[in-house]
Structure 1
Amino acid sequence: MSSLIRKESATAVAAQEQVGQYLTFLVGGETFAVSILDVKEIIEIASVTRVPLTPDYIHGVINLRGNVVAVIDLSARLSRAPSQVSKRSCIVLVAMEINETLQLVGMLVDEVREILEIPAANIQPAPDFGADIRTDFIEAMARIDDVFIILLALDRVLSLEELSLLGDLTAAEALRSVPTE
């Protein structure tokens, strides 16, 4: 019986020692992060074309190597003021399943910071209240040297239901209005 307890303890310790890598970035002066496994690419701000009749948090679309990619203004999506594009602004590309196909979606962020290795022991569940963004957008909170970083729940921030509006745009319609690089 004691060997079973030791094995369970070792498993618990191993789980706490697991480290995840997260890309950190600024939006509205606050630090957020997503798992590096979700990030496909980071690009400079390109020519973004606004698409009529889309929600305000949809910044527009870009032509990325011949593919139309929707760009979400993460600040506006988090119910904050729209992003002010600067020379530090970037588009973080993530792959999302939309209408049963994998599509790239860009998130406009104010500045990409760094990749952090965060031990599982430093990650706490999302709070039920008190956040200045929708709590369902928070996957968890990471504590690094007494600073909290919000780990975003991409599947909710980039909601399939809300992004299905983007699926209604045909590639031909969007490409007509997107300048080629």
Structure 2
Amino acid sequence: MAEEMKVIVFALGREEYGIEVDKVRTIERMMPITRVPKTPDFVKGVINLRGVVIPVIDLRGRFGLEETEPGDNSRIIIVAAADLEVGFIVDSANDVMDLMSDTIENPPEVVGGVKAKYLSGVAKLDGNRLLILLNLAEVLNRSEIIQLERVVE
């Protein structure tokens, strides 16, 4: 029997992505980000969210997509990865959706310019709509998590 999974739907450009709800702590409006020297370009810096310092990365930069200036709809999705909270800058966060596991297929090599290693699957939705599911373990691989932990310290 197909299992149900809840995902937060967000957009980068014209593509829609999903992160499992249980990995998302909160979704915040854009706020001042403090740059941190000697970090990869896609690491935008840190924010102070209710007294907690959280590293923030631009998912467009992470995936090698063209980075844009954050707009009115841009959001920071705070996710829990390993023992660390990390913020992802996205173009918009639209929706919570229930997905059935039988609608999810393995990702092709590249989807919307994003390499398959960052993806856990692609869900086929109504009509021709595709929802790209992120593999958080790869989006933040071990060495980068260690780097981000140092940023927070």
1:111 is aligned with what amino acid? S
Note the C-alpha offset of 1:147.
1.2
Q: Identical aligned pairs, as a percentage?
A: 30
Greater strand fraction, Structure 1 or Structure 2: 2
Counterpart of 1:58?
43
Q: What whole-Å deviation, never above 9, does each CA across 1:19-70 have from its counterpart, x for those lacking one?
A: 1111100112211111111111111111111111111100110011221100
Structure 2 residues not aligned, in runs of 5+? none
Kindly tell me: are residues 118 and 64 of structure 1, through their superposed partners in 2, closer, same or farther at Cα, counting changes over 3 Å?
same
> Following TM superposition, by how much is the alpha carbon of 1:149 offset from its aligned partner in structure 2, in angstroms?
1.0
Alignment pair present for 1:90 and 2:72: no
TM norm structure 2: 0.93
RMSD of Structure 2 on Structure 1 (CA):
1.3
- AA aligned to 2:86 is V
Where does structure 1 differ by over 6 angstroms across 4 or more consecutive aligned residues?
A: none
TM-score normalized by structure 1?
0.79
Aligned to 1:40: 25
Partner of residue 179, structure 1: none
Are 2:106 and 1:108 aligned? no
Relative to structure 1, the CA distance from residue 87 to residue 165 in structure 2 (aligned partners, 3 Å threshold; closer, same or farther) is same
- Could you list the runs of 5+ residues in structure 1 that have no partner in the other structure? 1-13, 172-181
Pairs within 5 Å for 1:112-127: 112-127=93-108
| Equivalent residues of 1:79, 1:133 under 8 A apart | yes
Q: Which protein is bigger by CA-based radius of gyration?
A: 1
User: Paired residue for 1:148, among 126, 130, 138?
Assistant: 130
Number of matched residues?
151
